[in-house]
Structure 1
Amino acid sequence: MEMREVTVVTGSFVGFQLLFSVASPLLSSAFTAGYGRLSPAKHTEWNSRFVSTIHALIVGLFCVYILWFDDAVNEDPVWGDPRLVKLNVAITCGYLLYDLVLLARNWDTMGDSFFVCHHFAALYAYSYVLTRGLLPYFANFRLISELSTPFVNQRWFFEVLSYPRTDRLVVANGVAMAVVFFLVRIAVMPPYYLRVASTFGTPAFERLGLGAQVAWITSCICLDVLNTVWMYKIARGCYKVLTGAGRKPKGDKLNHHTDSHSNNHRD
């Protein structure tokens, strides 16, 4: 890993920590009185989701820019010039490290072994990009899923502020969440896997080596199985809200960590 990527990962880690401990409390208390009435545990999760939303917007929009304008990556998805992708991945790695520290410090209220395993797996997968510069197109493509995260977090904000589920803002956000989640996590599967299949048997694919090939394919399949399950839950919840079929089951709640790194890795 080059010094530039190390610097970005470090800066990302510090920056997200400052957003959590300084920016979120200041901005949230200024924009909504409900923030001050939350319990300490809810404060922590609120600040965590605030940071999650900022991270998602940064890397998601950067991902779209790369997909549209980085010709080197689009022309050679396995070994194309990874400089911009490395920056985006480094930002995400800094976020993942920040989130691991947050989970460790608040294990009693936020700890979840699944997310710890997920974060480490994502860091392992992204290490191939940062150290060897391989699979830049595919690593970046997975990050487009982050664009659904702000809507998931906003749903939680509405819920913790006791907005009625029939409120127009809540309904509008729920519909937007379902549509965006489908577009960036489900609708992209066919073109993504067609591009994956097009690399099979090529010299570029063989050059990856068995370890990278297995890590790449298996992580994508596992992630998209989860995305399909989450899409079903979101669609069911959206249907219930739109039709007034009753309150959504507890099992339909999504944790912000699940959505930020389905990604991923989060992806």
Structure 2
Amino acid sequence: MAPSGYSTIAAHASSSNPSLWLYSVFGGIFMCKIVYELTGIISPLIFKGFVKLENAQKLEWKNRGFSTLHAIFVAIGAVYLLVISDLFDEHVREEWIINRTSALSDAILGISIGYFLTDLVMIIWTYPTLGGSEYFLHHGLSLLAIGQSLLSGLVQFYLFIVLFREITTPLVNLRWYLDVAGKKNSTIYMLNGVALFAGWLAARVLLFVFFFSHMYAHKYQVDCSMTLHIYPMGFYSTVVIPSVLALMNLFWFWKIAKGMVKALTKVKEHDHST
């Protein structure tokens, strides 16, 4: 069994690679910058109306470009680490699941920090063009959770479950693109809404049920009141931050469901009238 107490944190810290974290964070920032510029170059070739957009819309259009890439990247990384690799397979290793890390998982988290930092700076710099206070809360909590997990080497399993929720981001961004492009009444817009509803339900609602169920089943590893295996701040952030994100997800899910019902009602009324 893995050592308990704060010695575990020290052991993880001594075996970690801070230079990898630094390179990964800067890599994430560099990725955002490159994709932001490329989106501005490629978009006019795909959508002729791009040049006619307002400056604020062009800014958000390019911002959503690197947002989409980050979402796809971390979702693929989460699937690989959680499902394909044996890093978090409890039948393969005896080490407690909250202690498991790898160079790949550290690199992915570092890149994700780079993305959230870049996006948060853009949100602050252009406020309120790219979003309001809810984005400050979302990005701030994400940075706190990822930063703590990366520095301590703990609870990366749970963090990647939460990060997988980003799989719905490309659908959100596509919906915005279609709206700006004047395709709000198109079939693809309606199909996107249905896909967003289903994806949000699976990745941002039901997956959180699994998250908390798994954590409860492994409370002997996570609960700092039962063991010194995880430091108090790590425990509270592991419980509180996903809880806040889950509540935000439920609120947004309610809005998505409400919008989908409204859209389907319009389609039904249109069919009856014709």
Q: TM-score, normalised by structure 2?
A: 0.83
Report the equivalent of 1:253.
Answer: none
How far the C-alpha of 1:5 sits from its partner, in A, is: 1.4
**Structure number, greater radius of gyration:** 2
Counterpart Cα distance in 2 of 1:129 and 1:189 = 18
Partner in structure 1 of residue 173 of structure 2? 153
1:124 aligns with 2:140: no
Deviation at 1:81, TM superposition (A): 2.7
Whole-angstrom CA distance in 1 between matches of 2:45 and 2:150: 39
Q: Which moved more, 1:199-208 or 1:146-155?
A: 199-208
Residue 180 of structure 1 is matched in structure 2 by 199
Distance across 2 between alignment mates of 1:108 and 1:197: 39
Matches within 5 A, 1:35-50: 35-50=50-65
Q: Percent identity among equivalent residues?
A: 25
How far 1:8 moved relative to its partner? Answer: 0.8
Provide closer, same or farther for how the CA distance between residues 105 and 81 of structure 1 changes in structure 2, counting only shifts above 3 A.
Answer: closer
Mapped contact 2:39–2:62 kept (Cα < 8 A): yes
**1:17 counterpart letter in structure 2:** K
1:213 equivalent in alignment to 2:228: no
Structure 2: 5+ residue runs without aligned partners? 1-16, 91-95, 269-274
Conserved? CA contact 1:9–1:91, under 8 Å: yes
1:25-62 deviations in Å (ceiling 9; x for gaps): 11111111121110001000111111111111111111
Deviation at 1:101, TM superposition (A): 2.1
Contact 1:74 1:80 in 2 (8 A): no
User: Paired residue for 1:144?
Assistant: 164
- Cα deviation, 1:74-110, whole Å, max 9, x if unaligned, reads 3243111343322221111000111122123312533
1:89–1:130 Cα contact (<8 Å) kept: yes
Unaligned runs of 5+ in 1: 247-267
Change (3 A) 1:158 1:203: closer
Whether the aligned pair in 1 keeps the contact of 2:24 and 2:108 (CA below 8 Å) is no
The verdict on how the C-alpha distance between 1:184 and 1:101 changes in structure 2, with shifts beyond 3 A counting, is: same
Partner of 1:196: 215
Distance 2:194 2:60 in 1: 23
AA partner of residue 49 (structure 1): R
* CA distance in 2: counterparts of 1:175 and 1:48, whole angstroms: 24
Specify which of 46, 50, 58 is matched with residue 73 of structure 2. 58
- Is the 1:77–1:138 contact (alpha carbons within 8 Å) kept by the matching residues of 2? no
Change in Cα spacing, 1:44 to 1:203, as seen in structure 2 (3 Å) is closer
Task: Provide the rounded CA distance (Å) in 2 between the counterparts of 1:238 and 1:112.
Answer: 23
Equivalent in the alignment of 2:8? none
- Per the alignment, residue 249 of structure 1 pairs with none
Q: Which piece of structure 1 moves more, 103-112 or 156-165?
A: 103-112
**How big is the shift at 1:220?**
1.2
Q: Tell me the alpha carbon deviations over residues 166-217 of structure 1, each in whole angstroms, 9 at most, x when there is no partner.
A: x111111111111111111112122211110022134886311211111110
How many angstroms apart in 2 are the aligned matches of 1:178 and 1:117?
23
Paired residue total: 244
SS state of the match for residue 107, structure 1? Answer: coil
Cα RMSD (Å) of the superposition? 1.9
Q: Distance in 2 between matches of 1:111 and 1:186?
A: 23
Q: 1:55-74 CA deviation, whole Å, 9 max, x = no partner?
A: 11111111111111232323
| Partner of residue 24 from structure 1, selected from 29, 39, 42 | 39
